[in-house]
Amino acid sequence: MNTHALKYTFESSLIAFFAIAAFVLYAPNVNAATCTFSSTNLELGSVSEEVRCLQQYLNGAGFTVSTSGVGSAGSETNQFQVKTLAAVQRWQAANGVSPATGTWGPLSRAKYLSLTASAPVPPTTPTTPTPTTPTVPTTPVVSTEQRSARTAIQDVRDEYEDAQEEYEDAKDDGKGVGKAKTYLSDAETDLLKALYAFIDEDYAEARSYAEDANDSIEDAYNEMGGSGDDKDDAKQAIEDADEAYDDAKDEINDADDDGEDVDKARDILAEAKDALKDAEDQYDDEDYNDAIEYAKDAEELIKKALKAL
């Protein structure tokens, strides 16, 4: 499978995941806003009152733009930004609007009208109403465990979306991202497991997977916190340790030639060589902070080996 196909599959699965999550985690609100949209497409960067109404509709229909702050219910804005785009994509995927680009265009407007249009009520012959005993609607009982699991998944989902945006921005700016993509992939997998556990009503497991996803997101942020300077520092640390190793090896050989007991020194120097190898492996894996630590360990062992002479 080529890179383009893999990217399309990844993005499609992600959109599908968020569509499922929207149905499971966000109960549709019968008070979703009713909007009148013009023929102008609403897309990333659009600014209008139509955008505000669109956000109100999405929030009310269960496709939350944001769980708090700007874009959240009651704090909708007239600006079409990335969170609005993501919410529209989830709505499109859930309602069969393809491709789910996130742009509110003709297909989306037509689907919106079909979902919100009221069927005409045929005239009826007036009849005398029959008195009935009013009934009190019952409110579904939501357990504390279910509410906690739902909140955990929603919060991590928002964190995941923010991390994805930061990852894309970092790549576009040419910044180091290390293994951030791998960690984000792990987070997506755990989020999906959390959702399945939630559907199975195993709320403790759902929270556990959500916590695992959050840990992976934090790892991704740590990777993206790195820079080109980290790489240069790691390279220099390895070079310095390698040079110190060669000097120590020569000094131990000279001591051996002079008849000194160098067995202990050579054993410690072998440990230093292993630490150097670990540093180089971490450097190749773009784990520059770990590479620096292993290089420091190697230098400490080299000093210890020389003291053993």
Among 224, 252, 284, the domain boundary falls at 224
Place of tokens 């450097």: 283
Q: Is the pLDDT of residue 145 over 70?
A: yes
In a domain, 139, yes or no: no
Percent of the chain with pLDDT over 90: 50
Q: Is the pLDDT of residue 251 over 70?
A: yes
Q: Kindly state whether residues 219 and 233 are assigned to the same domain.
A: no
Q: Kindly state whether residues 153 and 187 are assigned to the same domain.
A: yes
Chain CA centroid to CA 169, Å: 14
**Tokens at residue 267, please?**
């054993």
pLDDT band per the 50, 70, 90 thresholds, residue 171: confident
Q: Kindly state whether residues 253 and 170 are assigned to the same domain.
A: no
Q: Kindly state whether residues 259 and 301 are assigned to the same domain.
A: yes
In a domain, 7, yes or no: no
Q: Kindly state whether residues 20 and 67 are assigned to the same domain.
A: yes
Distance CA 147, CA 194 (A): 14
Look at 70 and 128; give whichever has higher pLDDT.
Answer: 70
Among 183, 209, 224, the domain boundary falls at 224
User: For the whole prediction, is pTM greater than 0.75?
Assistant: no
Bond from prior residue into 99 cis (ω within 30 degrees of 0)? yes
Whichever domain contains 54, its CATH number is 1.10.101.10
Q: Kindly state whether residues 245 and 216 are assigned to the same domain.
A: no
**Tokens at residue 132, please?**
């009935």
**Tokens at residue 126, please?**
């007036």
Among 96, 116, 136, the domain boundary falls at 116
Q: Kindly state whether residues 264 and 217 are assigned to the same domain.
A: no
- For residues 93-121, average pLDDT: 84
Q: Kindly state whether residues 151 and 209 are assigned to the same domain.
A: yes
- For residues 104-110, average pLDDT: 93
Distance CA 80, CA 77 (A): 8
In a domain, 258, yes or no: yes
Burial 187-209 (b: 16+ CB within 10 A, else e): bbebbbbbbebbeeebbebbbbb
Distance CA 67, CA 69 (A): 7
**CA distance from start to end of the chain:** 58
Q: Kindly state whether residues 197 and 280 are assigned to the same domain.
A: no
> pLDDT tens-digit profile of 217-242?
998 888 886 545 677 888 999 999 99
Distance CA 40, CA 105 (A): 8
- For residues 176-203, average pLDDT: 89
Q: Kindly state whether residues 71 and 110 are assigned to the same domain.
A: yes
Q: Kindly state whether residues 105 and 76 are assigned to the same domain.
A: yes
- For residues 93-104, average pLDDT: 93
Q: Is the pLDDT of residue 303 over 50?
A: yes
Given a contact cutoff of 8 angstroms between Cβ atoms, the answer to whether 200 and 253 are in contact is no
In a domain, 254, yes or no: yes
pLDDT band per the 50, 70, 90 thresholds, residue 286: confident
Residues 6 or more apart whose Cβ sits within 8 Å of residue 164: 184
Q: How many domains does the chain have?
A: 3
pLDDT band per the 50, 70, 90 thresholds, residue 32: low
pLDDT band per the 50, 70, 90 thresholds, residue 63: very high
| Phi-psi label, residue 258: left if phi above 0, alpha if psi -120 to 50, beta otherwise | alpha
pLDDT value at residue 139: 42
* Closest-CA residue to 192 (of 3, 16, 6, 30): 16
| CA Rg value for the chain | 30
Chain CA centroid to CA 225, Å: 15
Q: Which domain holds residue 239?
A: 228-307
Q: Kindly state whether residues 242 and 205 are assigned to the same domain.
A: no
